[in-house]
């Protein structure tokens, strides 16, 4: 197991364990986060834990251009019961995601320090959100990192 220090370096992703855990420690500075994401690494930890850095293989990645929308979802969208926006309320989405109760989990990995770091990434154009509104109330959404490649 690799323990990170102030140096902004990561071991090779091939050194991750069977679950994808690669390293422990470090910080959530923007340059470290960007290097991590560009290297296929992401932080995932709970409040009170050291920062855990992961690189599972295979890695789940969404490609919006390959999204297939079901017939029933197309009907929902045609009915215009919901309004979908992009980057209208990043903070609202990430904060709401941090509060969702998850079956079989004690809490969330979206800690206050993660929210602060991702809000900074959003301000730089790297973190994006999609919001779903119903009658001007945020009812759903997602966020992620776009490396602008």
CA dist., res. 99 & res. 131, Å (int): 16
Contacts of 47 (CB under 8 A, 6+ apart): 107, 111, 112
Q: What domains are defined for the chain?
A: 2-54 (3.30.70.3550), 64-145 (3.40.630.70)
- Band (pLDDT 50/70/90 cuts) for residue 10 is very high
CA dist., res. 122 & res. 90, Å (int): 8
CA dist., res. 91 & res. 114, Å (int): 12
Q: pLDDT digit string (tens) for 41-81?
A: 999 998 888 999 999 988 777 787 898 989 998 898 888 88
- Band (pLDDT 50/70/90 cuts) for residue 136 is very high
How many residues appear in the chain?
Answer: 149
């Amino acid at each position: 197991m690799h323990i990170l220090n102030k140096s902004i370096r990561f071991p090779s992703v091939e050194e991750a364990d069977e679950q994808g855990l690669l390293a422990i420690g470090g910080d959530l500075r923007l340059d470290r986060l960007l290097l991590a994401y560009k290297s296929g690494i992401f932080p995932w930890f709970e409040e009170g834990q050291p920062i855990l850095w992961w690189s599972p293989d295979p890695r789940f990645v969404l490609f919006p251009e390959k999204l297939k929308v079901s017939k029933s979802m197309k009907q929902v969208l045609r009915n215009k019961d919901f309004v979908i926006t992009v980057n209208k309320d990043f903070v609202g989405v990430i904060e709401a995601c941090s509060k969702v109760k998850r079956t079989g989990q004690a809490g969330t990995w979206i800690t206050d320090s993660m929210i602060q770091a991702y809000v900074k990434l959003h301000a730089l154009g790297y973190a994006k959100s999609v919001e779903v509104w119903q009658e001007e109330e945020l009812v759903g959404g997602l966020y992620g990192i776009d490396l602008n490649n």
